Structure 1
């Protein structure tokens, strides 16, 4: 037998059990409302001489008070259920957002290792955006950016067949032209570190 068939058999039995519990609870509640006020009034008026009309009035008042108390309990329980459902929805929404951020982070890391420059640039900007919008992922983003800069900016820079190890730094082509992905990562690091300092301060 398949799992679907088992689930289909379970659902009617679960519904029947819930329906039986609800019917039983309603029956007990009806009995309580009908007979408990009479017992309470009989106990309170024990030994007192009262007319039948006065007894009926006392029973009606007791029943009305009991209904009001039950109504208050129902309202309180409904409010609790609504609050609990709201909390669960918020937790589910947060879990969904965390999953989306994790997926974006993983995709951006994959892009950083791509051989195409434009793909690496896309990964850098994706990580930059994650670092700005997710405080929990700020430190991992910083670490990944720093690792990218360390591994993609060797010294001396390999510019054709020219040995630039003895050249002055200001004689080299600017970083944004010879390694635009490293320049973008450095810019992202500067912005994220500045915003992190402002946030912690």
Structure 2
């Protein structure tokens, strides 16, 4: 009898806990039901003919993404699909445009497409659940991608004049058109640029460590200029075109240049220590995944290599005719078979006497 009050209190406490737990469960169910209703309403708004209603749907999905982390992967997929479906590349390929309009503000990204990119830029990528933003085959001219787009799929996208300055590590930009685009200070570590056009693109201060440029077109690209230097250490250039590109002061330590044209490129003060530009190194076939022809060396014809650091670089068979090597450091470089006719070598260090006779000074 003495224990009955305590037992009664325990039963009452257990009943209260069960009641509270039941209330919590019902609240979670109600909350999920509300989120589901909000999600369905936002999806319906995305199909509206009114741009204002569509924008409302896009920002409604942003609010849901903030309120419910579990729904973020689905929302990333939905918004990516919205871009692909509403801004597709024409069947005939990239539109012919006056690219001067990209630089003088006479062209801009569609407001709803930019809104999607802004929403995706503002998300927390750790809640993506393995889903990657996929804007492949999309028209994104003059768009701004400022946030986390790691592993983003931007293959075949039209990014002419776009500005990509966020986290794009491991992004796939194969066959994209980035002519005149700004990638300055972007993190593009291990990004993939296969058959990508980057003519006149600006990459000042970008981080491109380990990036792959197979068949890429970087003619007249502003790759590096001033400080901080663009980081292209361990980058791979295979069958790429860098004629007249500006790589002033770029970090190209251990970079690979095979079957790549660097004619008239500006490599003033560039760091090319340990860079490999010769197909004579057959180990490169494994790294590049391709059988190399014996003459698939890089060309540095008429390139400006003033004060460049080429220590321990592999330059066997490389075309350096007419190049300016004034003040360059060639100590430890492999130069067997290098073509140096007409090269300027004033103040160069490490050039064997046997090769000086080929040069003009």
Band of TM-score, shorter chain: 0.5 to 0.7
Q: How far did 1:71 drift? A: 1.1
SS in 1 for 2:3: helix
The CA distance in 1 between the partners of 2:89 and 2:67, in whole Å, is 33
The CA distance in 1 between the partners of 2:119 and 2:87, in whole Å, is 15
The CA distance in 1 between the partners of 2:21 and 2:34, in whole Å, is 20
Which structure 2 residues correspond to residues 171-182 of structure 1 after superposition, within 5 A? 171-172=101-102, 173-175=107-109, 179-182=110-113
**Higher alpha-carbon Rg:** 1
Matched, 1:196 2:125: yes
The CA distance in 2 between the partners of 1:136 and 1:199, in whole Å, is 9
Q: How far did 1:70 drift? A: 1.1
Equivalent position to 2:23, from 82, 86, 89 = 89
Q: How far did 1:165 drift? A: 1.2
Matched, 1:139 2:68: no
Q: How far did 1:169 drift? A: 5.3
Which structure 2 residues correspond to residues 98-177 of structure 1 after superposition, within 5 A? 98-156=32-90, 165-167=95-97, 171-172=101-102, 173-175=107-109
Are residues 82 and 169 of structure 1, via their aligned partners in 2, closer, same or farther at CA, if it must alter by over 3 Å?
A: farther
TM score, norm. by length of structure 1: 0.57
The CA distance in 1 between the partners of 2:64 and 2:126, in whole Å, is 17
SS in 2 for 1:174: coil
Q: How far did 1:170 drift? A: 6.0
Q: How far did 1:187 drift? A: 0.9
SS in 2 for 1:146: helix
The CA distance in 2 between the partners of 1:104 and 1:183, in whole Å, is 22
The answer to whether the 8 A contact 2:65-2:72 is kept is yes
Which structure's residues are more often helix, by fraction?
1
The CA distance in 2 between the partners of 1:121 and 1:78, in whole Å, is 52
Are residues 180 and 166 of structure 1, via their aligned partners in 2, closer, same or farther at CA, if it must alter by over 3 Å?
A: same
Are residues 133 and 114 of structure 1, via their aligned partners in 2, closer, same or farther at CA, if it must alter by over 3 Å?
A: same
The CA distance in 2 between the partners of 1:134 and 1:169, in whole Å, is 42
Consecutive unaligned residues in structure 1, runs of 5 or more: 1-65, 157-163
1:6 matched residue in structure 2: none
After superposition, the C-alpha distances for 1:91-140 in whole angstroms (9 at most, x for unaligned) are: 11111110000000000000001111000000000001101110111111
The CA distance in 1 between the partners of 2:100 and 2:5, in whole Å, is 81
Consecutive unaligned residues in structure 2, runs of 5 or more: 130-361
The CA distance in 2 between the partners of 1:115 and 1:191, in whole Å, is 26
